[in-house]
Amino acid sequence: MSLPDDIAFSLHPRCPVCRKGRLFKPWSISVVDKCAECGANLGAHDVGDGASVFLIFLLGATLVPSAWFFDKAFSPPLWVHAILWTVVGLCIIALVLPAVKAYIILLEFRHRK
């Protein structure tokens, strides 16, 4: 229950009960209904749009200033901005969204009893 453990859990999402079974369905961030290892009912935990909203705020606070500084420093054509920031945004979403969702599920599991 320490911060390093929570970060490790978020980066490698597993069942919050046994820490062995999968938390997400393969190639998805949908939560499995039951843990394959311990049978814990994981489908009951619904984080809603919490992880997505967090990422929207994170991306808005980081990508917009980054794009502004990039434009002031290099003055690239508009199509470079369109491609660059779309790719950067999608990469950040692919890397961070599963971790944020796993962390919210861990917190929900820990505090809902």
Residues lying near Zn ion in the complex (CB under 5 A) are found at 15, 17-18, 21, 35, 37-38, 40
- The distance of closest approach from Cβ of residue 59 to Zn ion in the complex, given in angstroms and rounded to an integer, is 32
- The distance of closest approach from Cβ of residue 44 to Zn ion in the complex, given in angstroms and rounded to an integer, is 13
Whichever of 18 and 82 has its CB closer to Zn ion, that residue is: 18
Supply angle C-alpha 29, 85, 55, rounded to 5. 35
- The distance of closest approach from Cβ of residue 40 to Zn ion in the complex, given in angstroms and rounded to an integer, is 5
Q: Which of 62, 51, 65, 60 is nearest to 94 (CA)?
A: 51
Whichever of 7 and 18 has its CB closer to Zn ion, that residue is: 18
Could you tell me if 38 and 17 are in contact, meaning their C-beta atoms sit under 8 angstroms apart? Answer: yes
- The distance of closest approach from Cβ of residue 37 to Zn ion in the complex, given in angstroms and rounded to an integer, is 5
Whichever of 15 and 51 has its CB closer to Zn ion, that residue is: 15
Whichever of 72 and 112 has its CB closer to Zn ion, that residue is: 112
Could you tell me if 38 and 20 are in contact, meaning their C-beta atoms sit under 8 angstroms apart? Answer: yes
Q: What is the dihedral of CA 29, 62, 77, 95, to 10 degrees?
A: -20
